[in-house]
Structure 1
Amino acid sequence: MDSLDGLRGFAALIVVFSHTSNQGTFFLPFLNLTGIGKSGVFLFFLLSSFLLTLPLLRKGKDIFTFPVMSHYWQRRFFRIYPLYTLYLLLGVVSTWILVTFIGKSGRGIPFELTWFEFLKHLALLEGKGVGWSIAVEFKFYFILPILVLVVVYARELGTTVLVSLFSILMVASQIISPQSEAIANDARLLPYMPVFIIGIFIAVLHEHINKSKPNHKVMMTLKWLGFVGVVGIVIMTPIIFSMLTGDDIPKNYFHKQFIIYSIFWSFIILSAVNIDGIIQKLFSIKILRFYGTLSFSLYLFHPVYISLLMRLNLNSYLTAWLVLIASTITAYISFNLLEGPISRFKINSNTNLTQLKRVFKLTK
């Protein structure tokens, strides 16, 4: 789905634009996008939930068969852990170098990290920097197959039962871990469950739409809901909301609004994948799809360049553009040398060294 690749790229750019704005560096005069980073992260969560649910739904009651689970877990592991491990090792090694040879403690690239903290990050118990969202998302992978299997059985009992199931899940999520009590950059899964639940719901809805051959009225509704989503996300941008209300709101004003963010982004996703219109065309443009391909690496490495370039005291606009350029180059190299090759690797009974080399294009 080209438009969803573009949406993923857009999510990554939202985070970059927000983090550079947070440091007082802007890509254009007055383009202050402080505080929108969480919106991009929630979109990442929603896209993951939506896209991973679809193939599992199609497996039906065969979700927990060995071939399905083997494919699912290998794809998830090789997509995240190799690059994430190297990213964390960079923190450990840079921390040791700065302490041992320069005498600077409390610093590291991308952040200070001890070996014990390294292991805790691998175990998804901590998440420094942008690592908190990696911990959240990977924990979700463990429960997604269970949730989808429950949905498969509920779907057989009718629409009322299915809608009731999602309603119960949403209510339960707010009873157990209300969004109003969420902690910033929390590495726990529970606070963000509403986002993932809504992602599963729109995957079920999307599949139903495609199977039922909806009429013109349904398609027009999806089209206009997409525009509602765009307007809603724009209004939730702190600088825009401040202009509309006349109040100077803090940058974290909407950071706990997981549910409303998810609803607006869901409208956009459903419109982008079902309606051949402006929204679909916008998020299908090549530059956004390009960044969608590089999104994980871009997300991980852009804080490194923000930290390094801010120390040079350059022109604020130049700093923002250099962050984007350097992060893009690093992400491109990372994807082509590591992410892409490893994501194609699959372990099975016939896996051998020759196959591994072929994945990395070292042999024909």
Structure 2
Amino acid sequence: MIHRAISNKLLQIDALDGLRGLAALIVVFSHTSNFNMFFVPSLNFRGIGKSGVFLFFLLSSFLLTRQIITTSNKIFTLEFMLNYWQRRFFRIYPLYTFYLLLALVTTWASVKYYGISYGQPFNLDLHGLFNELILTESRGIEWSIAVEFKFYFVLPFLAGIFLVIKKKGLIACSAVYICLILLSQWISPQSESLLNDTRLTPYLPIFITGVFVAFLQEALQDKEWFPTFCQYLGYIGLAVVIIMTPTVYSLITSPVKGDYFHRDFILYAAAWSLVMLASVNHDGLIKKALSAKPLRTLGALSFSIYLLHPIFLAAALYYNMSSFTGAWFVLLTSLAAAYLTFRFIEQPTSRLKFSGDNRKLARS
């Protein structure tokens, strides 16, 4: 089944696969709305794209930390680090490299045959390709890849801190979490972050929250009261996320710009964490909705959808499609292309690893 194809089956949670699919939809809905393309007339999702990206960050942090917790006695061993890095590399770089090569080739072809630079998803030369590959430059939505990959370097140390502190109890972990959030704001206040900032530091509150919630989940998951408590928290979190939609917030208060909440990393992290806890722990409406097969399938395709949809958005704009037609064209063509790249790039390369002593590529 496609939604399980590259999941870690021991730690895989259907509702979180669906939540990842929802994150991808949020980004697509936002970007189409930015260009006045609406799936339903006047249903404006402008400005919520960052919410979807921050949800991706939170899910990655939470799920990777859960894996670390299950192998806590090996976290700083050579075996663990090799496995950790090869899985992260082959999860991101094959599709990312394809995406960049597509930009490079289409830029070259447009110049050679039409005399103009019209690369898709953006113009790219060899120098830019190198900078993109080493994550020092970003020309489009791949800014988030640079952020997340940098976080992979930090995660083992963050998780290691909590692994040590958890022996002191949940209160001690909570205190460390608060201190880390405060430290992150001292180092890089969220209010001073840049648009599509490729630095890790502004987004640390989101990643730190994901790590903490993974330890919170481990500490409380066996408590009888926890699932019901999470149910109510989930509804609160969902309400906050909806209210933070600029269109909704403008109806409640006064009109705000689409980027009004783009720097509220801590609030987004808190709200989505509540939804995430509900989807993991309580067999209620949130979990059932997110566990639906269509959303879980979108979750498997989410990375491809995220990277590829701007290409079809550009096509819709180029051919001057109507609002309704353009929105559905972007979504459906993105899904079709995402399936192909998932099937022929993501899925095969996710099983690659370096084997034994000779470090040759092998299938896991």
Give the alignment's TM-score, normalised by structure 1.
0.94
Residues 60-139 of structure 1: pairs in structure 2 closer than 5 A: 60-105=72-117, 107-139=118-150
Q: Does 1:163 align with 2:174?
A: yes
CA deviations on 1:18-45 (whole Å, 9 max, x unpaired) are 0000011011111110000000000000
CA deviations on 1:229-259 (whole Å, 9 max, x unpaired) are 11100100111111111x2210000000111
Which of 55, 64, 70 is matched with 1:52 structurally?
Answer: 64
CA RMSD in angstroms comes to 1.6
Which of 196, 204, 208 is matched with 1:185 structurally?
Answer: 196
Q: Does 1:229 align with 2:237?
A: yes
Task: Specify the code of the residue in structure 1 equivalent to 2:342.
Answer: F
The residue that corresponds to 2:10 in the other structure is none
Instruction: Give the direction of change, closer, same or farther, for the CA distance of 1:183–1:72 in structure 2 (3 Å limit).
Output: same
Q: Which moved more, 1:192-201 or 1:345-354?
A: 345-354
Q: CA contact under 8 A between 2:354 and 2:361: conserved in structure 1? A: no
Residues 263-342 of structure 1: pairs in structure 2 closer than 5 A: 263-342=270-349
How big is the shift at 1:309?
1.6
Q: Which moved more, 1:231-240 or 1:113-122?
A: 113-122
CA deviations on 1:138-167 (whole Å, 9 max, x unpaired) are 000011011111111111233333222111
Q: Secondary structure in 2 aligned to 1:346?
A: strand
How big is the shift at 1:321?
0.4
Q: CA contact under 8 A between 1:61 and 1:152: conserved in structure 2? A: no
Instruction: Give the direction of change, closer, same or farther, for the CA distance of 1:186–1:355 in structure 2 (3 Å limit).
Output: closer
How big is the shift at 1:350?
7.7
Q: Secondary structure in 2 aligned to 1:294?
A: helix
Count of residue pairs the alignment pairs up? 352
Q: Does 1:215 align with 2:230?
A: no
Q: CA contact under 8 A between 1:15 and 1:38: conserved in structure 2? A: yes
The residue that corresponds to 1:258 in the other structure is 265
Q: CA contact under 8 A between 2:26 and 2:49: conserved in structure 1? A: yes
CA deviations on 1:238-281 (whole Å, 9 max, x unpaired) are 11111111x22100000001110110000000010001111000
Aligned-pair identity in percent equals: 48
Q: Secondary structure in 2 aligned to 1:347?
A: strand
* Whole-Å separation in 1 of the counterparts to 2:337 and 2:346: 12
Instruction: Give the direction of change, closer, same or farther, for the CA distance of 1:354–1:295 in structure 2 (3 Å limit).
Output: closer
CA deviations on 1:71-104 (whole Å, 9 max, x unpaired) are 1111110010011011011111111222222111
How big is the shift at 1:355?
5.2
Which of 147, 150, 163 is matched with 2:158 structurally?
Answer: 147
Which of 11, 17, 20 is matched with 2:29 structurally?
Answer: 17
* Whole-Å separation in 2 of the counterparts to 1:231 and 1:96: 47
Task: Specify the code of the residue in structure 1 equivalent to 2:223.
Answer: P
Q: Which moved more, 1:6-15 or 1:65-74?
A: 65-74
Q: CA contact under 8 A between 2:16 and 2:279: conserved in structure 1? A: yes
* Whole-Å separation in 1 of the counterparts to 2:358 and 2:113: 43
* Whole-Å separation in 2 of the counterparts to 1:154 and 1:114: 47
* Whole-Å separation in 2 of the counterparts to 1:327 and 1:158: 46
CA deviations on 1:185-223 (whole Å, 9 max, x unpaired) are 01110000000000001000111122xx2123x332211
Q: Does 1:5 align with 2:17?
A: yes
Instruction: Give the direction of change, closer, same or farther, for the CA distance of 1:173–1:350 in structure 2 (3 Å limit).
Output: closer
* Whole-Å separation in 2 of the counterparts to 1:185 and 1:353: 37
* Whole-Å separation in 2 of the counterparts to 1:165 and 1:350: 39
Q: Does 1:204 align with 2:215?
A: yes
* Whole-Å separation in 2 of the counterparts to 1:5 and 1:198: 19
* Whole-Å separation in 2 of the counterparts to 1:311 and 1:98: 15
Structure 2, unmatched stretches of 5+, are 1-12
* Whole-Å separation in 1 of the counterparts to 2:121 and 2:230: 41
Give the alignment's TM-score, normalised by structure 2.
0.94
Instruction: Give the direction of change, closer, same or farther, for the CA distance of 1:266–1:35 in structure 2 (3 Å limit).
Output: same
CA deviations on 1:40-80 (whole Å, 9 max, x unpaired) are 00000000000000011222242011221121111110010
CA deviations on 1:303-346 (whole Å, 9 max, x unpaired) are 00000121111221011101111100000010111100110122
Q: Which runs of 4+ in 1 moved over 3 A?
A: 350-356
* Whole-Å separation in 2 of the counterparts to 1:79 and 1:311: 32
Task: Specify the code of the residue in structure 2 equivalent to 1:77.
Answer: F
Task: Specify the code of the residue in structure 2 equivalent to 1:227.
Answer: Y
Q: CA contact under 8 A between 1:4 and 1:272: conserved in structure 2? A: yes
